[in-house]
Structure 1
Amino acid sequence: MKTMKHTVALMALVGASSAFALDADFNTIDADGNGAISMEEASKYPELMSQFKDLDTDMNGELSEQEFAKAQ
């Protein structure tokens, strides 16, 4: 029973962190339209900023559309 509670709690945590509510899509956040979301652009969205470093898998300081899609 204890294991079941831990499993359910872990599933809820994972679900909540990967499916955060973001009020804008990639093209809206990419304000300059260069095909990438900079940290400056992301800074207007606290939910996105909290995951920015984890989403930036190539560590170039920007989120590509593919990297951003992982946040959805």
Structure 2
Amino acid sequence: MLGKYIGQMVELVYMDRAGHITQRQIRINSVHGGRIRASAGADGSPRTFLEQGVLAWRPVLHKDGEAGIC
């Protein structure tokens, strides 16, 4: 699902186990076994997301229309 976006910035709508829905921009580091490992926030702190909690996603585009790549 999100494996083709490894190394790119993605805007993600996510529902956690408690049912809270958040929208955030993350940089995907790896996708394996239903888990998405990513860097999130201004400090790039590591996060793990479950694929089953992803409600929507899209690549973050720069002003020139290109996807954000590392």
Please indicate, yes or no, whether the TM-score normalized by the shorter chain is above 0.5: no
- Report 1 or 2 for greater relative contact order, CA contacts < 8 Å, sequence distance ≥ 6: 2
Larger relative helix fraction: 1
Structure with the greater alpha carbon radius of gyration: 1
More strand by share: 2
TM-score (normalizing by structure 1): 0.22
Q: TM-score, normalised by structure 2?
A: 0.23
